[in-house]
Structure 1
Amino acid sequence: MECQRRGFPKRCRCREAVLMKTSGIAKNPGRLFHACPYGNEGDNWYHTFKWTDTCMVKELEDLIDKVGNIEETSMTLQKGFNVCESEIDTLAMETCMCEAVVEKEVGDLTLELCSLNNLV
């Protein structure tokens, strides 16, 4: 149920969209809150009511956690990327070495073929 979640509520238990309003009572004058349009002071146990500043704190706490998770994931991905880059460099070096060996063998075989052609 939306009303029990952290952060800003969007729907009440009665499925009605929650609205942001301004308090007009003496105890909390001008304080913003989120509430179901069908709720009133006496039945907050069923219809959604949350102070906006409280919602904001919970939203920020959740965002801080999410950013922390993203940073950890980013570092893990960067380490994996660095490993891949290193492997690519190693493979490129091995490829160059193999090409050099093949070129030398082709050269040697070309000379041998020339020698055999001269014998024939």
Structure 2
Amino acid sequence: MGDQGRGFPTRCRCGEAVRMGTSRTAKNSRRLFHSCPRGYEESRWYHTFKWTDECMVEKIEDMKLKMNNVEENSITLQKSVNACESEVGTLQMETRVCEVVIEKEITECKMELRSLKNMIGCVVMMMFIYMFLF
């Protein structure tokens, strides 16, 4: 028996493409199988032969494992998405707080700038007055 693993074989060890056939024996009448077309020409032990129903059971078992992995990964991913959404919400609130603080600081800077302009204006006026008087 030269099967090459689980599921449906596609190539034999000899390199030939595996074909599907129907059994004509009394014991396995009309049972489907996969085999190498050269399996009848040479020694059979080397070439692939596998019952299709066994292939299907293996394939289903493998798919169940993959589905379980997909479900577990989906749950993990959903938890990660929820954590990211929570983090985004936190960052949005922090951004709003920062915007308010920056607006307040900008307003204060504008007020200080006006005060400085007024002071400079007063100093310039005093200098003119001083120059004209003395």
Q: TM-score, normalised by structure 2?
A: 0.80
What is the CA-CA distance between 1:44 and the residue it aligns to? 3.3
User: Is it true that 1:64 corresponds to 2:64 in the alignment?
Assistant: yes
Number of residue pairs the alignment of both structures matches:
118
Q: Gaps (5+ residues) in structure 1?
A: none
In structure 2, C-alpha distance between the alignment counterparts of 1:69 and 1:47, rounded to whole Å: 33
Identity score, percent: 58
In structure 1, C-alpha distance between the alignment counterparts of 2:39 and 2:26, rounded to whole Å: 19
Root-mean-square deviation over aligned CA pairs = 1.8
Secondary structure of residue in 1 paired with 2:100: helix
Greater radius of gyration (CA)? 2
1:16 maps to 16
Secondary structure of residue in 1 paired with 2:29: coil
What is the CA-CA distance between 1:114 and the residue it aligns to? 2.3
User: Is it true that 1:38 corresponds to 2:54 in the alignment?
Assistant: no
| Residues 4 and 12 in structure 2, CA contact (< 8 A), matched pair in contact too | no
Superposed CA offset, 1:55-103 (max 9, x none): 0000000011011111111211221222122111111111110110110
| Residues 3 and 11 in structure 1, CA contact (< 8 A), matched pair in contact too | no
Secondary structure of residue in 2 paired with 1:3: coil
What is the CA-CA distance between 1:50 and the residue it aligns to? 0.5
